[in-house]
């Protein structure tokens, strides 16, 4: 990314905020959407950062992302609640669910909010850092029952979406931030490699005949292939099993799933917050987590040049660098942002510099 232009984090966030406000979101929702997208970029998840701003703005323009009104509380009982998101911005809905689940967790030790008919919720890792630093365990999972790109292990036809799950774990220092999926890669990553004309780093896909492939082009055309479950050809039953867990929980608990044949781009979402203070205390939780981290980081590495890293730690180091030096934004993303800048009359931000 040596040719990418760099932008100040706050300036870039304010720019995205203005785009969303002009497109019809109120100030509070626009701020959350902008902040969550830029957070994905500073953590290094570029396919789910401002790369999604253009698609979200198109959805607002088309009315398939709802700008006004509030979600419907379908059920609210003690530590759990079900919301109908009405295809409101998924970034805002998920952040609101984290806050609501946190209040329940403070009272009951754990709080769970499930959402049906949410719009797309972006990068799951973007929500993790603040709650984890506050001593809370946050779990987020989602599926899109309107789409399918991943088969059952041993099958050919697509049944699932990549089905991500993320967990933020407090440690006393940098939190552990796990963001993984039931598939070998995401649709966004495969599309990014396809647009570049590049092959994927591994045989993460299968073509329509069931042959493993690293060519993202097999996912398009009249007879597309699929993204393999995590574990690939040999151990894909692991990703398949995880997909079954995530699909049944998010859809079964929220009351909207593939059986209902939804057509909108969106998600069924599960947000769970656990407050260790209600168990043996957050200090004990952090003590145990810190010891596990020490065991991992002091273990003998297979390659001395690549010691063991904890999930999320390199992303947080990258975030500190980008906050200090500016966020690199690829030309392909900038071209989308320039289009919406002109269309909505929001000036592009000033370039901070080049790496």
Is residue 88 within 8 Å of 118, Cβ to Cβ? yes
Per-residue pLDDT band at 355 (split at 50, 70, 90): very low
- Helix (H), strand (E) at residue 32: helix 27-43
What is the tens place of the pLDDT at every residue in 165-221? 999 999 989 999 999 999 999 998 999 899 889 999 999 999 999 999 999 999 999
**Cα dist from 217 to 82, 129, 194, 226, 247, whole Å:** 39, 35, 6, 11, 27
pLDDT, residue 127, reads 98
Reply yes or no on whether the pLDDT at 249 is more than 50.
Answer: yes
**Residues of the chain with pLDDT > 90: what percent?**
95
pLDDT, residue 4, reads 83
Backbone Cα Rg of the chain: 20
What is the tens place of the pLDDT at every residue in 124-136? 999 999 999 999 9
3-state secondary structure of 96: helix
pLDDT, residue 1, reads 42
Residues 249-256: what's their mean pLDDT?
98
- Give the separation between CA 133 and CA 150, rounded to whole angstroms: 34
What is the tens place of the pLDDT at every residue in 90-103? 999 999 999 999 99
DSSP 89: -
pLDDT, residue 353, reads 56
- Give the separation between CA 286 and CA 201, rounded to whole angstroms: 36
Q: Please list, in sequence order, all residues whose beta carbon lies within 8 angstroms of the beta carbon of residue 74, skipping any fewer than 6 positions away.
A: 82, 83, 84, 116, 255
pLDDT, residue 3, reads 67
Per-residue pLDDT band at 114 (split at 50, 70, 90): very high
In CATH, the number for domain 5-184+228-289+310-344 is: 3.30.1370.60
CA 114 vs. chain centroid, Å, equals 16
Q: Where along the chain do its domains lie?
A: 5-184+228-289+310-344
**Tokens 């896909």, residue located:** 205
Is residue 176 within 8 Å of 289, Cβ to Cβ? yes
**Tokens 């850092």, residue located:** 129
Reply yes or no on whether the pLDDT at 144 is more than 70.
Answer: yes
What is the tens place of the pLDDT at every residue in 28-63? 999 999 999 999 999 999 999 999 999 999 999 999
């Amino acid at each position: 990314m040596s040719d990418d232009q760099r932008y100040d984090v706050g300036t870039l966030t304010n720019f995205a905020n203005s785009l969303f406000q002009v497109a019809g979101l109120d100030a509070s929702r626009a701020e959350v959407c902008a902040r969550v997208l830029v957070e994905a970029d500073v953590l290094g998840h570029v396919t789910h950062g401002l790369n999604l701003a253009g698609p979200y703005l198109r959805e607002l323009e088309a009315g398939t992302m709802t700008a006004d009104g509030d979600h419907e509380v379908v059920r609210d009982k003690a530590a759990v609640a079900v919301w109908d998101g009405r295809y409101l911005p998924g970034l805002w809905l998920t952040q609101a669910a984290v806050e609501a689940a946190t209040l329940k967790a403070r009272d009951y030790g754990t709080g769970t909010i499930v959402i049906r008919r949410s719009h797309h919720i972006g990068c799951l890792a973007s929500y993790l850092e603040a709650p984890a630093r506050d001593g809370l365990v946050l779990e987020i999972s989602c599926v899109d029952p309107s789409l399918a790109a991943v088969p059952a292990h041993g099958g050919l036809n697509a049944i699932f979406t990549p089905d991500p799950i993320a967990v933020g774990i407090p440690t006393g220092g940098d939190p552990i931030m796990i963001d993984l999926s039931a598939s070998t890669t995401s649709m966004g990553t495969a599309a990014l490699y396809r647009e570049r004309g590049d092959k994927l780093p591994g045989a993460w896909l299968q073509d329509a005949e069931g042959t493993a492939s690293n060519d993202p082009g097999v996912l398009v055309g009249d007879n597309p292939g699929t993204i393999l479950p995590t574990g690939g050809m040999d151990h894909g039953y692991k990703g398949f099993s995880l997909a079954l867990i995530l699909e049944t929980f998010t859809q079964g608990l929220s009351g909207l799933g593939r059986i209902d044949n939804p057509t909108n781009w969106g998600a069924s979402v599960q947000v769970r917050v656990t407050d260790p203070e209600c168990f043996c205390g957050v200090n004990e939780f952090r003590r145990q987590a810190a010891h596990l981290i020490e065991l991992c980081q002091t273990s003998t590495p297979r390659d001395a040049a690549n010691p063991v890293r904890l999930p999320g730690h390199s992303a947080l180091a990258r975030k500190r660098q980008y906050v200090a030096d500016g966020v690199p934004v690829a030309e392909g993303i900038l071209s989308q942002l320039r289009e919406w800048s002109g269309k909505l009359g929001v000036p592009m931000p000033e370039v901070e510099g080049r790496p």
